[in-house]
Structure 1
Amino acid sequence: MPRLLLVTGMSGAGKSSALNALEDMGWDTVDNLPTSLLHDFVHRSDRTAGSIHVAVGMDARSRGFDPHALPSLVDSVSGARAEILYLDATGAELARRYGETRRRHPLAPDRPAEDGIARERNLTAALRLAADAVLDTTDFKPADLRDELRRRYGEEGDELVLTLTSFGFARGISRTADLVFDLRFLPNPHWVEELRPLTGADAPVADFVSAQDGSEEFMGRTEELLAFLLPRYWEAGKAYVGVAFGCTGGRHRSVAAALAMGERLRARGFSPNIRHRDLALRPDDSLELGQSRIEGPEKR
């Protein structure tokens, strides 16, 4: 059964950040929804039944906001498991945030923010008591809030989306990569006559690349680096990571390295996608020669 999460609480406590984090986790989200539209939003016809969780932000700005009636309204939505998340923070911290952003409190547009904070705390007291979870964000950085929401509301099995890409520097560096590794320190199979028409996906080329001096050490050290970095990227809230392996033309060394690293990372429990940007392109001597100064004539 899909979940329906009402995200509410004190203005300035992080509701917009929470909704953004939930959206990144695959939830269907909307902020400041009028209460009269709640049922229609949850049951709108373009949503695949039973497959998408819904998070709705409501607070004192929302039309029809009634903190006493909201719990019953949320519970009345059929076909969804209703929950309420109340975000809170100390009055001093909320006032500090309003001071930094220079925004006016919705309940005190012409008075100090402290007056609006006190009024809102009294207004939403009943909603706080009815909440399934109260989250105090006083000491939270945005990343802390995102991590906490992922722990509480992330789907079991959520994981980093990892893509390993091979490419050729001669055709331009990969623009989607977070990390780029250069394979041009290895001899180029393009200059081996019998290997030229093959690619890094073929065993003779893969064997040639792995047999070169420094190849195994490079792969081992890169594997350890990625095994260290990838979980930390996920913990920091990064849902997608691209790792690119480049060689000159993007058909031999980079392809072999991306495929081999994919196998290594799968053995460590990761699930990488493999993409070969330039593999389908025809061999081109002029492109390979364009990199001769980098690779050195002895590596042809």
Structure 2
Amino acid sequence: MKGKRQQVVLLSGLSGAGKSVALRALEDLGYFCIDNLPVPLLAQTTALLDEDGYPRIAIGIDMRSSHSFGLFPAHYEALTELDIDLRLLFLEANDETLIKRFSETRRAHPLANGKLTIPESVTLEREMLGDFAHLAHRIDSSDLSANQLRSWVREFVALDRSKLTLIFESFGFKHGLPLDADFVFDVRCLPNPHYDPVLRPLTGKDQPVIDFLEREPRVGQYLTHVLGFLERWLPEFDRDHRSYVTVAIGCTGGQHRSVYLTEQLGKHFALQRQVLVRHREQFPHS
């Protein structure tokens, strides 16, 4: 294929974390999608599709091909030497969510084989996929709706891979820590708009909540300290050739304080870096 480089998305993750949803989202975006391709066929398949004129392809790799998954690091290294736009996306979720999804659908886990329980299979798969996860852009789908996941996948493939992407994500501690975070900042120590009945149904993107938080000196101090920390250490990630850094900001419910600070951090760094802003928890009017 001549002209623009072929874009190749390698999609993997834990069984039950939403790979089928993500692959369908990529298909809707015009990607030629292949699911459950054995790892040794990666380079050959990519080259053949490039010759046949497929500019964007997405390949699902998971534990259904567990006999060849251990070969992934070597075959991935070979792909990085090709003149392609190569992206890795890894979907994960917490154990409780994965176990619940398998129980509700009554599907068998691909590693169960009639010998392992679902929790044992989930633990084993997480260990087996560890080498893939640290190379990839990770999305924790534990508390995401299918629409949210599709939206985050669309954002991922639209990124400029030549730049480090800084992801700011708000969340609520009562719903659990995000698995995809590189840094976690706890803002539960700051004044909480939740206790004002007028502000309670709003979010940190609404002006009355913004006004409330900006009147509080501690909020500004906290924001300044986080900005200073990130300004100091992000250049080290650049030198380490990292593609993505996820900064999670958490308050109790993920609705007011974390959303406000996430928005402010995103606006600040968007002036100089490639930024994604995400709010994990669902809001009635988001």
Structure with higher Rg: it is: 1
TM-score of the superposition, structure 2-length normalised? 0.50
